[in-house]
Every structure is written in C-alpha cells, then in structure tokens.
C-alpha cells in the first residue's frame, strides 16, 4: 500500500454504502425556540412547523470501511422543497478517517472529540467533550416512558421516509479558495439518507446538559422542553448522497464555519 493506488486497490476500497454493525445509539429530542431555528438554518433550508432539535451519542464497534469509533451529533429539524429532514450543526467523532470521510464526501461538520457512551441496566449516559469543555451530556432512564406523552409519534416521523426507517439529512458541502477570497464553488446542499434496522429499541426519560463553549456552541440551541430519548442497537446503512441545490456564496458565508474552531 503506497501513496499511489492501483486500479485494483481503488476498486477494492469502493463501497456502495457505509455499513455500521451492532451500532449503539442514545438519541434525544427536545423542543427549542422557533427564532433559534430561523437564525441557524442557512437558506434554502426552512424551519418546520415545530422547532425541534435532535442529538445523539453513538458507538460504532464495526463498519465495512474498517473503522470503529464513537460519534455525537446535533441536528435541527428542517425542510427543503417540502421534504422534512435534519440539518447537522455539529458531529464530533473519535477517529480521523471517520472525520475525513464524513466531511469530504457528504459535508458533515465533523471535529475530533472525546466521547463516551455507557449503559448500566436502565441507566444510560453519553457525553461529548472538546478543549476541556463537556458541551453536551445526556442521561436517560429507560423506563419505557418518554418525558412528554406523544413523543413516540415524533420519533416515528423523524425516522420515516417513503415507508422505510430512514433519516433524511441535509449538509452543505463547501471548501474555501486557496487565497481565502471565498469558496471554490457555490456551497452545495447535499441530501443523504441513513437507514436504521434496530433489533433493540428502549424508550426513556432524558435529562440534557448543554454547556457553553466558544468552539462548540451547542448551547445556542436552547432547551425549551425535553421530549424524550430512545436507546437503540442494530445495523445502520449510510446511503449515497446527492447534491440537490446550490446556495448563494455571499448569503451562505456566515454559516460556513461549523467545521472549524474560530
């Protein structure tokens, strides 16, 4: 294996999908403020009727691309051309290749972080930390009940697309010019799907702590009402993405710094 790859090596490395085996995830949903969502969503994405935030901490012990790692993520519920999905504000990971693949292929705003997820009976907790700040922490008691009645319907809506258990995500893929004068090309809105095939789903009441951080400002997504959490184990498939729109470069510029500490 050298710097230059042969045709056979390139073909061998190609994956039609990203497969995650025995994935363990703790996902929480909360209601935030509509003005927060409007402030953070870049056009052409639009807010949905209800201002919802989704976050998770996950452990991926085995993948089909040879990497095992932990991951966190923060999303806002958003809409594009009448289709609802999740816009990613942050996605810390514990592995550099997981970072590169997600950022360079799909535009996920990934950064290297310290992450932990552990379960002990009904109690499960997870956190993400960078620069000594534990900016996201979740604790859940898997009682089979949510914080708010009806949360099951919200999870069902988020995890459903065309009859499949699929989450639709939106990211903007963009790179700065070498001279720092703008973008190499107009930022591209990427639509991507992740299919979930859980063999275990446990519902729980959740508590969330968002700690202010200069570099990972998740606390901007104010918690108005925690709705509940689910703990899942199973296999996930990351499907191929597609560019569905371009953003105006000047209008997008204020939103272009999710991937960097500045």
Per-residue pLDDT at 164 exceeds 80 = no
Alpha helices in 144-186 (DSSP H): 151-158
The CATH number that domain 17-255 falls under is 2.40.400.10
The predicted model scores a pTM of 0.96
Q: In the chain, count of helices (H) and strands (E)?
A: 5, 14
Task: State whether residue 99 is helix, strand or coil.
Answer: helix
pLDDT of res. 162: 62
Q: What is the pLDDT of residues 99-157, one digit of tens each?
A: 999 999 999 999 999 999 999 999 999 999 999 999 999 999 999 999 999 999 999 99
Q: What is the pLDDT of residues 59-93, one digit of tens each?
A: 999 999 999 999 999 999 999 999 999 999 999 99
Task: State whether residue 169 is helix, strand or coil.
Answer: strand
pLDDT of res. 184: 95
Q: Tell me the CB-side half-sphere exposure of residue 51, using CA atoms within 13 A.
A: 16
Q: What is the pLDDT of residues 188-229, one digit of tens each?
A: 999 999 999 999 999 999 999 999 999 999 999 999 999 999
Answer for the pair 97, 67: CB distance below 8 angstroms, yes or no: yes
Closest CA relative to residue 194, chosen from 82, 73, 37, 93 = 73
* For the chain, domain boundaries: 17-255
Answer for the pair 108, 91: CB distance below 8 angstroms, yes or no: yes
Per-residue pLDDT at 1 exceeds 90 = no
Per-residue pLDDT at 161 exceeds 70 = no
Per-residue pLDDT at 253 exceeds 90 = yes
Checking DSSP bridges between strand 83-93 and strand 69-80, what pairing results, if any? antiparallel
Checking DSSP bridges between strand 18-31 and strand 225-238, what pairing results, if any? antiparallel
Using CA atoms, how far residue 227 sits from 53, 109, 149, 223, 224, in Å, is 10, 25, 8, 10, 10
pLDDT of res. 30: 98
Q: Give the total residue count for the chain.
A: 262
pLDDT of res. 163: 63
Strand partners, 235: 197
Query: How confident is the model over 2-24, as a mean pLDDT?
Result: 93
d(CA 248, CA 189): 11
The H-or-E segment that residue 182 falls in is none
Answer for the pair 176, 201: CB distance below 8 angstroms, yes or no: no
pLDDT of res. 160: 76
Structure tokens at 50: 């209800």
């Amino acid at each position: 294996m050298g710097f230059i790859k042969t045709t056979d090596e390139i073909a061998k490395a190609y994956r039609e999908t990203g497969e995650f085996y025995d994935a363990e995830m703790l996902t929480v949903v909360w209601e935030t403020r509509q003005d927060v969502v409007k402030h953070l969503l870049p056009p052409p994405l639009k807010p949905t009727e209800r201002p919802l935030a989704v976050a998770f901490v996950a452990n991926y012990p085995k993948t089909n691309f040879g990497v095992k790692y932990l991951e966190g993520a923060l999303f806002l519920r958003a809409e594009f051309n009448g289709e609802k999905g999740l816009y990613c504000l942050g996605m810390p990971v514990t592995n550099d290749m997981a970072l590169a693949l997600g950022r360079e292929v799909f535009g996920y705003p990934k950064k290297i972080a310290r992450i932990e997820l552990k379960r002990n009976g009904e109690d499960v907790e997870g956190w993400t930390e960078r620069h000594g700040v534990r900016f996201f922490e979740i604790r859940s008691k898997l009682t089979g009940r949510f914080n708010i009645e009806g949360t099951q319907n919200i999870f069902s809506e988020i995890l459903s697309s065309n009859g499949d258990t699929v989450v639709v995500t939106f990211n903007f893929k963009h790179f700065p010019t070498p001279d720092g004068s703008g973008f190499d090309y107009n930022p591209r809105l990427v639509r991507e799907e992740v299919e979930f095939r859980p063999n275990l789903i446990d519902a729980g009441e959740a508590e969330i702590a968002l700690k202010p951080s200069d570099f990972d400002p998740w606390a901007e997504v104010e918690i108005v009402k925690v709705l509940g959490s689910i703990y899942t184990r199973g296999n996930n498939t990351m499907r191929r993405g597609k560019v569905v729109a371009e953003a105006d470069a000047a209008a997008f510029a204020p939103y272009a710094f999710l991937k960097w500490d500045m």
